[in-house]
Amino acid sequence: MFFMLGIPAFYLLVMGLMLQVIIPNFTYNGVSTSYITFLAPGIVGMQAFTAGSIGGSMLWADRRWGMFEQLLVGPFRRSDYLMGIMLVAVFFSLAGSAIMLVLAYFISPYFNITVFSSLFMVFSLIVGAILFTSMFLIISVLVRSMQAYNTITILLFFLIDFASTAFYPISSSTPIALRWISSVNPLTLIVNIVRDSMVYGVSGTTYISSLVVLLVTMVLFVVSLKLYRNVRTGI
């Protein structure tokens, strides 16, 4: 719970309030925006990634400690277990995002959320949780040691979080390598959808980002499903 809620809340409260003093306002999407108003949707969108990483870790831990094998001996199918992990990730994504959203309203109430835009936000959080859960399931199936799994997940955590638009906008002055990494980063698309839904309004870019996220999710889910069908019990 600390990993799920404590760290994002720390980012929002400490980084938001501290950097707000240094960056009171800047222009983004042609609109003058305070930094904390820009940051809050990024923290909300990050919940999909955090929830997805927990989903992948569940399979690794259950295989390592024999729980996965015990479940398969019982009246459960592999598909039941997989759907259970996906549902847990979606629940954590939505619940964590709701808490971050409430917290964001206390420190920056300048949001423009409508019923229509909230549908895009919920869509991005649900699909994003399935996307990242599928990605981490693939890693948990392919990696053979705890050290390797932890190393890869920690590296991905920092790379995906900090090489996205969650904390700062990507502009022409951003180094080309970071711009490229951010542009192919699924979290960037999810955060942009959430940010449009909360602050700037739904536009054509929001539709395109939603479609791309959905397609990437479908591909990763199919790959993870194929690998999961042949996963061994135990490590």
- Residue 235's pLDDT is 57
- Residue 4's pLDDT is 66
* Paired tokens of 196: 């449009």
Q: What ranges do the domains of the chain cover?
A: 2-229
What parts of the chain have a pLDDT lower than 50? Answer: none
User: Which pLDDT tens digit goes with each residue over 152-196?
Assistant: 888 988 889 889 989 888 887 888 888 899 989 999 999 999 999
* pTM as predicted: 0.87
Distance CA 63, CA 218 (A): 25
- Residue 131's pLDDT is 95
- Residue 34's pLDDT is 83
In angstroms, the Cα distances linking 77 to 71, 83, 90, 93, 197 are 8, 10, 20, 25, 38
- Residue 196's pLDDT is 92
Is the Cβ–Cβ distance between 46 and 191 less than 8 Å? yes
- Residue 3's pLDDT is 63
Q: Please state the length of the chain.
A: 235
- Residue 18's pLDDT is 81
Find tokens 């399979």 and name the residue: 59
- Residue 191's pLDDT is 95
In angstroms, the Cα distances linking 184 to 105, 132, 168, 171, 213 are 30, 14, 16, 15, 11
Instruction: Classify burial at 116, counting beta carbons within 10 Å of its beta carbon; exposed 0-12, middle 13-18, buried 19 or more.
Output: exposed
